Amino acid sequence: MSELNNIVLKILSNGKGILAADESTGTMTKRLGAVGVESTTENRLLFRETLFSSESMKKCIGGVILYDETIKQNSKSKKTIPELISTSGAVPGIKVDTGAKVLAGSPDEKITEGLDGLRERLKEYYKLGARFTKWRGVYIISDKYPSKLSIHSNAHALARYSSLVQESGMVPIIEPEVLMDGEHSAEDCLIKTTKVIKECFEELNKNNVDLKGVILKPNMILPGSGSTKKISNEEIAKLTLKCLKNSVPKEVPGIAFLSGGQTEIEATENLNLINKYNDTNFIMSYSYGRALQQSAIKFWSKDIKNIEGTQKIFNHRANMCSLAAQGKWSKELEAK
């Protein structure tokens, strides 16, 4: 067992998943603004520290993805944020891409940037305590998209990033997100997501990335948010499994889904059904941002000093996700 594989298993085993707390300052400002809280450095830290010091960090959260601002901050207990996360038994991680920009040659699409100077930044993040990283590629669906150019360019960037990350002794999360925006059917999402993921692994192999030391963070197979062709949660689970069986090499130890615009309950229910039907050796877990934090941030915004109450809301949501990662969740448990 390689050290990288051990890190993956520590993050995703026993119903644990990932808390994606890597919102940029701009995104966090929007989230806080939506609930009427001023986005100051102190308030951003206070909300995140409230979650990072909650009870569910010990049994439900195996890893936390941080943003550059947060990984360099200290908690109230004078521990650094990575130390606070490590104390609970979870692994600190870091988002390392610098965002999606217009793709030259296909201006409707995006390419993720951040490879320049990445080797040096990774050394710094490793010293700060990070042991895994995240890079997100984004793809749109329409009659002509994602284009071959977008599929190849983003896969190549994800592979180069992964190779540098493993060189630095950390686990790369590979996040090729095919966006929910649009009127496409779930069948169309299945075909295009399969293509995207296959290309990613072709590029990872060309770059000699050790597949036993990566985590895939894909979207679930869903109809577009503007589609009239809705499907059942069972169909979502079965199509998602079909996609992953056809596109992910068996060496990959774990898959941690993004929630991608689903509500907390939808993201939990769909993950639960994926695990009920899962007949693969892949660990199927979660890497959720909003689908773990939405209720907690709404509650917290009413009184940002009510740490205990906010943690109670977060603990419940994390516990529900953890049960879903084991196929043990049910709607009745939500009311308890």
Catalytic sites, residue numbers: 175, 217
68's tokens: 């550059």
Q: Which residue has the tokens 């689970």?
A: 237
Residues in CB range of 325: below 8 A, 6 or more apart: 15, 16, 17, 271, 275, 284, 285, 286
Question: Considering only CA atoms, which of 320, 289, 295, 322 is closest in space to residue 310?
Answer: 295
What count of residues does the chain have?
Answer: 336
130's tokens: 């990070």
The secondary element (H helix, E strand) that includes residue 50 is: helix 41-52
The secondary element (H helix, E strand) that includes residue 123 is: helix 118-128
Q: How far apart are CA 175 and CA 158, in angstroms?
A: 8
